[in-house]
Structure 1
Amino acid sequence: MDVLCESAPNDDDCGTRYSSSSSEDDERRDQGVAMTYMTLDSILNDNSRMFEFLRSFGVLANKYVCATCRKPMSCVKVATTRCGDGLMWRCAKDKVWRSVRKGTWFEKSKIKLKSIVLLTYCFCMRKSVQSTCRITGLSDKTVVDWFLSCREICSALMKKRGKIGGPGVVVEFGESSFGSNKYDKGRWMAEVWVWGAVVCGKDHGELVLNVVEKRDARTLQWFIEEHVENGTVIYSDKWDSYEDAEEFDLQSFAADHNYQFRNKVTGTMERYWKEVKRVLEGGKRRRSGLQSHLDEYIWRESVFVHGCAFHSFMQSVGALYVPRVED
């Protein structure tokens, strides 16, 4: 859908399609983001291009139906004094107006669309809060809150994905403690245990990381059933610590799900623990937010080989929050 200009309907710039830049630099390759900041900024500085850009990911609707006449409304440019985004849906016949973010992921946010997209780009680029504040001109509280919203998207995506492994596939299981490090204002963060499982033999393996309340046999059973396909070969050197005839019969559990347990490790999970703790600054995270940071790490691993983390993230938002097209 082309965007109309309320003050100049024949503006040749309206409806311009987004065209990606082919240039790359070391930082973007490292972060798995293919688009440059300059390319994105040029798109966001043109409301028409911004609309088409966001619509291409499905995060904005390509139409909106008038509640009065039930006909499609037009997307028009308006003065930013009327709408900070510079775009609105309009039904000329019934003089009905709606925000372009109506019924979308952006609806409840008071930040301008341009700023939201920049915040999301910085999140995908792993920019620090301070660096993002300088780029967007927003407060650190706003940046932290939006990064939290982005991690919630990562968590939602992790809940929707399937199990790892499969008949004959080797998955290594392990556990590691996070915390017990001196935190801000002289406090200590309580020790938190995380269980993990990874498919062996892949550069960017299929990975699961879960904060657990207890390191007991019942939790182990839940973890494996929840995340690992039947018939998987599971490596671990921790089986002996879960052998409890009264609580958990390891052999019966394996037979019921066709799992093959092996008392060995390849070191794959250990390498991931080191990397996760490096990325999460030694694991010094509050318990309430640790799982979301783990989900973010897994999401980045899953999209690293797909070309552009930013594009992948925006497409995922469009799939999770399908825009409404009517009131």
Structure 2
Amino acid sequence: MDCISCINFYFSFIALCTRTDELISFLQAHQVLPATVDCPKCKAPCKFVQEGFRLRFRCLRRFKVPKRKLSKRCNFSVSAKKGTIFDGSHLNITTICQFICHWLHGAYPRQRFLVEELQMSSATIIAWSSFCREICINYLSLISAILGGDGVTVEIDEAMTGKLGDKIEGRWFLGGFERDTKKLFIVPIPDRSAATFLQVVRGRIMPGTTIISDCWRAYDCLNDEGFRQFTVDHRLTFVEPSTGAHSANIDRLWRDVRGKISRYGRKEGHMVGYLAEFLFKRSVDRTNLIHEFMRAAAIIYPPSDPNIGEEDPDEPRPGPSSVP
């Protein structure tokens, strides 16, 4: 039976990972691993077998050989990991699931902890961390919604992530925060031009929305595009005296981003992934993190159809197969 919702605390899931049969049932309930496979040759249901760390479906059906007094067993088998997040990795599912649990619940810096606790190399940890962020990116794209509407207030603000020195280096992002629902978005932008801002706002915020922003001149076009705009001059005040407008929520969001994303070992080219990780963990209750992550992984990397045949070693695989 598919799992619609479940609560998993950090220590309880780590303990579950050590009970292989229960872990497999959990992964099957979340559709990360297939629960059943029918043999494409004889259409009989295959038997799930564990061969060490290998998980396979084997057809054990026997049939008579025509014109001979012999029976023959169907020799079809397929990896249960085929097409899933485990496909192509040399790690066992216990280690991978424990890593995912640490990655979802642990705080920075965590690499040294993972190296010592899970006996994984730094290269493997980096690869799996990037892979998990890709799942977060895809998850957020699946649940993304347009903010605002008549009578709804959305705060917007841009921010740069990067290094400040003699020369500013980094990447600009535009964020939006809906006050009533606390829904939000953060998207990368190539520049701070009015055309770029307007393109993002049109795609992310509904007409008729009340938008609160700072006094950056690129926002001046919003009133002409079906939005009600109020501005706050942060150089003078946090709350505009004449309108009561403020952008405290979006300002707090950017403070949280800077506080939650580690500055150590961070690569600016991976900033979209770091932000996706931040938004995923912010949008999901801690007790549901593992459930939502596994369901997202199952949607993005569903088990492959056994009729396609056994995996081709030359084909690209979903998991970070370039490392042990």
TM-score, scaled relative to structure 1? 0.76
Structure 2: stretches of 5+ with no match in the other structure: 62-73, 232-244, 308-324
Shift of 1:74: 1.1
Shift of 1:48: 1.9
The yes-or-no answer on 1:76 pairing with 2:49 is yes
* Matching residue of 1:252: 224
Q: Identify which of 31, 53, 64 aligns with 2:37.
A: 64
Shift of 1:180: 2.1
The yes-or-no answer on 1:229 pairing with 2:206 is yes
Q: Aligned partners of 1:73, 1:163: CA distance in 2, in Å?
A: 45
The yes-or-no answer on 1:170 pairing with 2:170 is no
Q: Aligned partners of 1:130, 1:188: CA distance in 2, in Å?
A: 32
The yes-or-no answer on 1:92 pairing with 2:66 is no
The yes-or-no answer on 1:149 pairing with 2:131 is yes
Structure 1: stretches of 5+ with no match in the other structure: 2-19, 21-32, 244-248
What is the CA deviation profile of residues 72-126 of structure 1, one whole-angstrom value per residue up to 9, with x for unaligned ones? 2111232x1xxx23x3211012122211111322213232111111111111113
Conserved? CA contact 1:212–1:219, under 8 Å: yes
* Matching residue of 2:306: 326
The yes-or-no answer on 1:310 pairing with 2:282 is no
Task: Decide whether aligned partners of structure 1 residues 272 and 35 sit closer, same or farther in structure 2, where only a CA change above 3 A counts.
Answer: same
Task: Decide whether aligned partners of structure 1 residues 292 and 51 sit closer, same or farther in structure 2, where only a CA change above 3 A counts.
Answer: same
Conserved? CA contact 1:59–1:315, under 8 Å: yes
The yes-or-no answer on 1:35 pairing with 2:9 is yes
What is the CA deviation profile of residues 160-214 of structure 1, one whole-angstrom value per residue up to 9, with x for unaligned ones? 22222232211100012221247xxxx9882322211111255xx2121122111
* Matching residue of 1:139: 121
* Matching residue of 1:301: 282
Q: Aligned partners of 1:282, 1:46: CA distance in 2, in Å?
A: 36
- Secondary structure at 1:110's aligned position in 2? coil
* Matching residue of 1:278: 259
Task: Decide whether aligned partners of structure 1 residues 293 and 36 sit closer, same or farther in structure 2, where only a CA change above 3 A counts.
Answer: closer
* Matching residue of 1:195: 174
The yes-or-no answer on 1:265 pairing with 2:243 is no
Shift of 1:295: 1.3
Q: Aligned partners of 1:197, 1:240: CA distance in 2, in Å?
A: 17
Q: Matched residue pairs, number? A: 275
What is the CA deviation profile of residues 256-277 of structure 1, one whole-angstrom value per residue up to 9, with x for unaligned ones? xxx2222242311111111110
Q: Aligned partners of 2:119, 2:264: CA distance in 1, in Å?
A: 29
The yes-or-no answer on 1:180 pairing with 2:163 is yes
Moved more, 149-158 or 232-241: 232-241
Shift of 1:231: 2.6
Conserved? CA contact 2:78–2:306, under 8 Å: no
Q: Identify which of 216, 238, 242 aligns with 2:193.
A: 216
Conserved? CA contact 1:198–1:269, under 8 Å: yes
* Matching residue of 2:96: 116
Q: Identify which of 41, 44, 61 aligns with 2:17.
A: 44
Task: Decide whether aligned partners of structure 1 residues 237 and 156 sit closer, same or farther in structure 2, where only a CA change above 3 A counts.
Answer: same
Task: Decide whether aligned partners of structure 1 residues 146 and 42 sit closer, same or farther in structure 2, where only a CA change above 3 A counts.
Answer: same
Q: Aligned partners of 2:29, 2:261: CA distance in 1, in Å?
A: 33
% identity of equivalent residues: 23
TM-score, scaled relative to structure 2? 0.77
Task: Decide whether aligned partners of structure 1 residues 289 and 188 sit closer, same or farther in structure 2, where only a CA change above 3 A counts.
Answer: farther
Q: CA RMSD in A?
A: 2.5
